[in-house]
Copies of this chain bind each other. A is one copy, B any other.
Amino acid sequence: MNIAHDKQVLAVSGGVGGAKLALGLAQVLSAEQLTIVSNTADDFEHLGFSISPDLDTVMYTLAGLNNKELGWGLAGETWSCMESLAHFSDQTWFRLGDKDLATHIYRSAELQKGVSLSRVTEQLCQSLAISHRLLPMTDDRVRTMVQTDQGALAFQHYFVREQCRPVVSGFYFDGIEQAAPQSDVVALLESSSLASIIICPSNPFVSVDPLLKLAGVAAKMAANKAPVIAISPIVGGSAIKGPAAKMFAELGLACTCEGVADFYGELLDGMVIDTVDAAFQPAIEAKGIPCLVTNTVMKSLQDRAELAEQTLAFAEKLSQGATSSRAKIAVDEEVGS
């Protein structure tokens, strides 16, 4: 890939949509060049397990083990445990497959021993022969609460148990103020070797915003020379997957890629929008956010790699364009200091 071998890319991902592009990036970047940071604010405690749905979706996707029919969990999954559990318990609305359970058993037992989520994730990735680095956004407890017409709901209760039916009026992230961003993520955000920050096509409200709201993260992203580029998860007014479009509508926001641009605002140095949304390019660029218009709907493995390639090339172009002005600022600062 056309980034210098000593440069690194940070990809920000939620679940399914983000994981697709994360896999594309993993196809075109070496293990040393790519770090994926995953949302953990939709983690929850259930049936005694510590469950990290987004981390697992990215992990299983990178390992090539993800269940493509379901869009979550493991391929070739079986359900014996859940079927038996249904005899005892009404807590089977969050379906845990027999194979997937191994991940939850292992993670929960390690966390219980005091091992950090970062370290457990590293161990799981090693076991699954994942070479690229996958990090949780924090080792601390942050929990997305969805404010709805049925009261505040823990994210998985809103998302899985209630099937996203309640009308959303807002979000808050319990624990966000006490949580520290993962230390390797911080180091990367402070590093001059960062070539780009790619916000994968994940839900802005619940998959990306928790990371951005962790102490110092948005400021460090803005301060780093590496361009921040978001791929719109809204294509033609709909979300490819999940409740993002419904949330935009219920919050009274424009359910378009321009709405996504407005959500991220000044954080963005560039945006990737789908060809079906080409008409939004002038409006977004008028906000000072250059756009790459391309196919963003990743159906095949090839689509993932192509979108990754194009996004990285776009980032490179933005970096070069920015070099003169940023270099000038750097020179000015040096002169001034």
Contacts and interface: CB of A to CB of B under 8 A. Distances in A.
A108 B82 CA distance: 15
Given A47-B109, A108-B48, A109-B48, A123 B88 contact: yes
Contacts of A82: 102
A295 interface: no
B85 A98 contact: no
Contact of A87 (B49, B81, B102): B102
Interface residue range, chain A = 20 to 34
A119 interface: no
A106 interface: yes
Interface in A68-104: 74, 77-78, 80-85, 87-89, 91, 97-103
Contact of A88 (B47, B83, B106): B106
Nearest to A129: B87
Contacts of A100: 84
A105 interface: yes
A88 B110 CA distance: 11
Nearest to A98: B80
Interface in A96-141: 97-103, 105-106, 108-109, 112, 123-124, 127-128
A146 to B, nearest CB: 24
A259 B27 CA distance: 69
Nearest to A99: B84
Contacts of A48: 48-49, 105, 108-109, 112
A105 B127 contact: no
A88 B102 contact: yes
A103 B83 CA distance: 11
A118 B102 CA distance: 28
A127 B81 contact: no
Counting chain B CB atoms within 10 Å of each CB, which of A78, A82, A98 scores highest? A98
B102 A85 contact: yes
Contacts of A83: 99, 102
A102 B127 contact: no
Nearest to A97: B80
Contacts of A80: 77-78, 80, 97-99
A94 B77 CA distance: 22
Contacts of A87: 102, 127-128
A98 B46 CA distance: 18
5 contacts: A47-B109, A48-B108, A84-B99, A88-B103, A89-B106
Interface of A: 47-49, 74, 77-78, 80-85, 87-89, 91, 97-103, 105-106, 108-109, 112, 123-124, 127-128
Given A48-B108, A80-B80, A88-B102, 20 more contacts: A47-B106, A48-B105, A48-B109, A48-B112, A74-B84, A78-B98, A80-B98, A80-B99, A81-B81, A81-B105, A82-B102, A84-B100, A85-B105, A85-B106, A87-B102, A87-B128, A88-B106, A88-B127, A89-B109, A98-B101
